[in-house]
Structure 1
Amino acid sequence: MHAPDDDAWLLEHSRVLGDRVRAVRRDRKISQEQLHLRAGVSRDVLQKIESGRQNPTFYTLLRIARVLDISLADLIR
């Protein structure tokens, strides 16, 4: 498989992930404040993840998924 010449596809996937985190959080009726505190991530990092401007670590995604009571696979699908 040939790699793309630019990273636009990465930015699109970051936006999709951020949208998914936000949608699940809202569906669970959890505020950003509650999520960032329970997951042990800064509010700034969570806001950047939800806006697609942050490349979260694996551990951060695991923490978020655990608080949202969703599997990591379902969160990043």
Structure 2
Amino acid sequence: MEMIPENTIELLKQKTPVQVGNRLKSLRKSKGISQTFIAHKTGKDRQYIYKIETGKVNPTISTIALITLALNVSLEDIFKSL
């Protein structure tokens, strides 16, 4: 069985957090919800929410799940567009 090429792995590591962050930001804005609201609902710092939305950090799946709960969307809504 062939391994996934290293350059593909690196590209995914760089690209995926940005795509997830963009999707979360888009959903949040479409609902008229602030980063502060999301931070309060999830118990996370607003700056951390900002860093997630801009792809500067790679959040855990449980953090993404918390944010989707605060946005009242499913995990599928986040990942189906990737």
Q: How far did 1:8 drift?
A: 2.1
Q: How far did 1:9 drift?
A: 2.0
Identity percentage over the alignment?
29
Q: What whole-Å deviation, never above 9, does each CA across 1:31-63 have from its counterpart, x for those lacking one?
A: 111111112111121111101111111221111
- Residue in 2 aligned with 1:3? 4
Between Structure 1 and Structure 2, how many residues are aligned? Answer: 77
* Structure having the higher Rg: 2
- Residue in 2 aligned with 1:30? 33
TM-score, scaled to structure 2: 0.83
Structure 2 unmatched ranges of 5 or more = none
- Residue in 1 aligned with 2:45? 42
User: Superposition RMSD on alpha carbons, in Å?
Assistant: 1.3
Q: How far did 1:3 drift?
A: 2.0
Q: How far did 1:15 drift?
A: 0.8
Q: How far did 1:2 drift?
A: 2.6
Runs (4+) off by over 4 Å = none
